[in-house]
Amino acid sequence: MLSAKMEDYLKAIYRLEREGEPPVATSTIAETLEVTPPTATSMVEKLADRDLVEREKYKGVQLSPEGETVALEVIRHHRLLETFLTEELGYDWSEVHEEAEILEHHISEEFERRVAAALDDPEVDPHGDPIPSDTLDPIDDIPASALADHGEGTRLLVARVRDRDPEELTYLDGAGIRPGVELVVEEVAPIGMVTVRLDSGETVALPDHIADAIQVRNPDEAAEEVSEV
């Protein structure tokens, strides 16, 4: 049986692989998990001994097929729990990440199935992140880019929002910016602010670091995908 710490490493490596090209440097893993490089190296060696990662000397590691399956299962638990906490227990979306981080390691497969059934098998969590299927197939992420990368006059659909900073989420919730909301970039100021206009007509000024936390896509492309289903 794997420890919660091992599962955290596998989940982190999975995310880092998707953000860049594997292999993932041990120093990057250490920075992500806020541990020392020797601590990360020691854990990576343990994961390699269990055939959960494959190591390339002087380059880094990547998940083995078995390691990827474990990572996907933990991610599925996490995102289902975030959804359950918000939809069934009344948690705010800014509160659920830390709760799910704790619970994701301890729920049974039966509990997972019942949560998924109670929620009618959701495809995304409250922050717009895709939930792996019960068959644990690799996640097919929708194409999206940071709001901060778009110019004035662009109409966009909010696809997902970074879930790790409760203050960011509280700010966005108060501004009415959530996955599924359409907006138009009104102004990109050189002082580090992006102003957007919502369909309600309200304008919201977002600091660059918050605009970077919002992933957006073309609303017409999203509508076409829905019509094809």
Per-residue pLDDT reduced to its tens digit, 16-35: 999 888 899 999 999 999 99
Report how far residue 1's alpha carbon sits from residue 14's, in angstroms, rounded to the nearest whole number. Answer: 19
Q: What is the pLDDT of residues 66-90, one digit of tens each?
A: 999 999 999 999 999 999 999 999 9
* Residue 188 φ then ψ, to 5°: -115, 105
Mean pLDDT value across residues 108-135? 96
Tell how many helices (H) and how many strands (E) occur in the chain.
9, 8
Q: Does residue 228 register a pLDDT over 60?
A: no
Using the predicted structure, report yes or no on whether residue 223 has a pLDDT greater than 70: no
- CA 174 – CA 171 distance, rounded (Å): 5
CB neighbours (10 Å) of residue 126?
Answer: 24
Q: Which CATH number fits domain 145-228: 2.30.30.90, 3.40.630.30, 1.20.120.530, 1.10.3720.10?
A: 2.30.30.90
| pLDDT (0 to 100) of residue 224 | 61
- pLDDT of 229 reads 47
Domain ranges in the chain are: 4-63, 145-228
* 152-156, 180-184, 218-222: range with lowest mean pLDDT: 218-222
φ, ψ (nearest 5 deg) of residue 176: 80, 20
- 22-32 in b/e form (b: 16+ CB < 10 A) is bbbbbebbbeb
For residue 129, CA distances in Å to 17, 50, 90 come to: 16, 29, 19
Cα–chain-centroid distance for residue 49? 28
User: Residue 20: its pLDDT value, please?
Assistant: 86
3 state SS of 131: coil
- CATH class as words, domain 4-63: mainly alpha
Beta carbons within 10 angstroms of residue 20's beta carbon = 10
Q: Express each pLDDT in 126-177 by its tens digit.
A: 999 999 999 999 888 778 999 999 999 999 999 999 988 999 999 999 999 9
pTM of this structure? 0.91
pLDDT mean across residues, the chain: 93
